[in-house]
Structure 1
Amino acid sequence: MEKNNEVGATIAQKYTANVGRRNVLKMTATGIAALGVGAVATGPAAARTRLTLTEKWDKTFPKSDKVDHKKVTFKNRYGITLAGDLYQPKGSTGKLAALAVGGPFGAVKEQSSGLYAQTMAERGFLTLAFDPSYTGESSGEPRNVTSPDISTEDFSAAVDYLGQLPIVDRERIGAIGICGWGGFVLNAAAADKRIKAVMASTMYDISRVSARGYNDSVTLEQRTKTLEQLSRQRWQDAENGKPAYQPPYNKDLPDSAPQFMVDYHDYYMTPRGYHPRAVNSGNAWTQTNPLSFMNAPILSYIREISPRPVLFVHGEKAHSRYFSETAYAAAAEPKELMIIPGASHVDLYDQMDKIPFDKLTAFFKQHLA
């Protein structure tokens, strides 16, 4: 643990010193964590006044011949129209168990969440992967901004949509969250009792890492400095009539970048996982995006998921492993933590030999029976 804390305290300092970014990135580990926690990148996407859905198959994974796929839209409680991909097992009949799938933080449905959704549809579930509010093909202005409340709401909105489909059994709806959306799905399940079983894969607690840095290494003085800078940035944004965006950093990694940043780059900025609509793939959150996370803990009520079951899956070698371990300890039974030998954080985004789909299938078939 001492070694982990030392690594967490120095990651941002080493990276920031080499990149030489302005403002928030010059601050502390909090700054880097708040940028998206590996879900960093770019300038604003083009403004949109209406939803335009791409009909071509532009996923980062091959299309399965075992499922039917279609684009769908639905609204959340705040009136934002979300875009999703609905996957249905070919030839399925009767009422199906359904899964809402979201994440990673800063990704789009054409990446990891879509892969999980399509694979679980091959295994008999109706699944919905969706773009979060203000990102991807979903609506919302300005672009590339979020908050813990809205991200949690988007999961419940997906449950709203699934529960209205005539082929779905409303009493058999579960949810999967990946990376930062692993934290949001736990928060959603704590409040939304319609979610009957929940699984968090390679989980990040975005609120915790934004507020405290990696391994909780940020001091009160560092946190205060970051909040001071972000607070004053609001005046600049208000005067300009639009938000300033963080600079991309997945594009240009320094030689001294920590391994987990190299892993993110290898996924988001190479043909393996690159998608032009993803915040992480050379785009960026607004500079003030961290504000809403820095004083809004999302896992305060994790025990209230019980008596519904929770499954945590994390890589043995993931820098983020402590998030799942802490959440697992705080959750009530029934719960399970599965550690994948040799796996890194990003391995559980798309490595089919590392993601335990047999375990996921058994878990949801048992608890959504």
Structure 2
Amino acid sequence: MKKFILPILMATSFSAIAQTNDGWDKTFPKNEKVDHRKVSFKNRYGITLAADLYQPKDRGDKRLAGIAVGGPFGAVKEQSSGLYAQTMAERGFVTLAFDPSYTGESGGEPRNVASPDINTEDFSAAVDFLGLQPSVDRERIGIIGICGWGGMALNATAVDKRIKAVATSTMYDMTRVMSKGYNDSVTKEERTKTLEQLSQQRWKDAESGTPALQPPYNVLKGGEAQFLVDYADYYMKPRGYHVRAVNSGNAWTQTTPLSFMNMPLLTYIKEISPRPILLIHGEKAHSRYFSETAYEAAEEPKELLIIPGASHVDLYDDQKKLIPFDKLTSFFNENLK
């Protein structure tokens, strides 16, 4: 296991974003070295996905390596995935940050529902789109998954052999946490009770014709664990709030966990090899064990990069300059030759 040490710099302040005259509606500043345009494309299920395409201004007529970026779980492309995509575009890649099916500006009904199958497919649909761009060499495409989309990215790479390299940042295995709880603490009896409740909720939703929603996300009542406070500090403050994000005071449907309960995302992680995996996680993140166990299960070539002093949310927006963009750049330059 390698460790990567970065200097701690003064945090910068990102404002809550209202759409500007040029259409910029992100939670991070626009980079003038990068061209940006909104795009859309369909996944294999016919759902239209909305995305932001970022390209270096000085790209000339060369075909460049492409990177699709998704996550975190409950976020939109105007937040972390867009920041990662824009930053990697400045570093010479054509990048695509997308809204997953049923969320943000992407299509799909009902709203605010997730699926390990469909959301894995969203990554492959992003690869479809990148491979059709004249500025992209389709033999040199990788992906980055952040938080809950880290597990989706690993799953997509296992099944989609067009993906040549995968990196995850502050990764969650959503099937594991929904079915087993944090640190696998849920008992069989607790799991059975949850499934009974979710099963009954299906009848209620069918009767009403509209899926019921969970309580609003990241609305604190006091006494929450520190990682929940950290989430709220990002999603509910000017730093990272976005009106379309599920996590910014909106909610998933109550039955969203059903499809995650018995479909383990990382079953075939060994089949990513011989393509390389880079797992990035914060030393102090409550979720660190997801990357550690994924690393143990994966085959070479693989690397687990622990960022000293970083929490889970620190790797969302780089306020403390902890996201290892230099490492991500060298990883993809080396593996998307």
TM-score w.r.t. structure 2 length?
Answer: 0.92
Please point out which of 57, 61, 64 is paired with 1:90. Answer: 57
2:229 aligned with 1:296? no
Secondary structure of the structure 1 residue equivalent to 2:224: coil
User: CA contact under 8 A between 1:99 and 1:174: conserved in structure 2?
Assistant: yes
1:181-196 equivalent positions in 2, closer than 5 A: 181-196=149-164
Post-superposition Cα deviations, 1:318-352, rounded to whole Å, max 9, x if no partner, equal 00000000000000000000000000000000115
Please point out which of 84, 92, 102 is paired with 1:134. Answer: 102
2:211 aligned with 1:235? no
Post-superposition Cα deviations, 1:261-299, rounded to whole Å, max 9, x if no partner, equal 000000000000000000000000000000000111000
Post-superposition Cα deviations, 1:71-110, rounded to whole Å, max 9, x if no partner, equal 0000000000000000000020211100000000000000
Q: Which runs of 5+ in 1 are unaligned?
A: 1-53
User: CA contact under 8 A between 1:178 and 1:200: conserved in structure 2?
Assistant: yes
Q: CA deviation at 1:367?
A: 0.3
2:216 aligned with 1:256? no
Q: Supply the AA of the counterpart residue of 1:200.
A: T
- Matched with 1:151 is 119
2:50 aligned with 1:69? no
Secondary structure of the structure 1 residue equivalent to 2:95: strand
Secondary structure of the structure 2 residue equivalent to 1:290: helix
- Matched with 2:15 is none
Please point out which of 125, 129, 135 is paired with 1:161. Answer: 129
Gap change, CA 1:262 and 1:74, over 3 Å in 2: same
Please point out which of 92, 97, 117 is paired with 1:124. Answer: 92
- Matched with 2:178 is 210
Q: Supply the AA of the counterpart residue of 1:63.
A: K
Post-superposition Cα deviations, 1:299-324, rounded to whole Å, max 9, x if no partner, equal 00000000000000000000000000
Between the aligned partners of 2:138 and 2:222, the Cα distance in structure 1 is: 51
User: CA contact under 8 A between 1:55 and 1:71: conserved in structure 2?
Assistant: no
2:308 aligned with 1:344? no
Between the aligned partners of 1:356 and 1:200, the Cα distance in structure 2 is: 12
How many percent of aligned residue pairs carry the same amino acid? 77
Please point out which of 278, 281, 284 is paired with 1:317. Answer: 284
Q: CA deviation at 1:55?
A: 6.7
Gap change, CA 1:249 and 1:198, over 3 Å in 2: closer
Between the aligned partners of 2:289 and 2:224, the Cα distance in structure 1 is: 21
Between the aligned partners of 1:309 and 1:91, the Cα distance in structure 2 is: 28
User: CA contact under 8 A between 2:25 and 2:78: conserved in structure 1?
Assistant: yes
Q: Supply the AA of the counterpart residue of 1:233.
A: Q
Between the aligned partners of 1:71 and 1:200, the Cα distance in structure 2 is: 24
Please point out which of 335, 338, 341 is paired with 2:302. Answer: 335
Q: Which runs of 5+ in 2 are unaligned?
A: 1-20
Q: Supply the AA of the counterpart residue of 1:165.
A: Q
Q: Supply the AA of the counterpart residue of 2:24.
A: W
Between the aligned partners of 1:214 and 1:58, the Cα distance in structure 2 is: 34
- Matched with 1:362 is 330
Please point out which of 242, 246, 249 is paired with 2:214. Answer: 246
2:73 aligned with 1:105? yes
User: CA contact under 8 A between 2:175 and 2:264: conserved in structure 1?
Assistant: yes
Between the aligned partners of 1:57 and 1:165, the Cα distance in structure 2 is: 23
- Matched with 1:15 is none
Between the aligned partners of 1:303 and 1:249, the Cα distance in structure 2 is: 34
Q: CA deviation at 1:186?
A: 0.1
User: CA contact under 8 A between 2:217 and 2:248: conserved in structure 1?
Assistant: no
Post-superposition Cα deviations, 1:177-215, rounded to whole Å, max 9, x if no partner, equal 000000000000000000000001000000000000000
Between the aligned partners of 2:194 and 2:230, the Cα distance in structure 1 is: 26
Task: Name the Cα RMSD after superposition.
Answer: 0.9
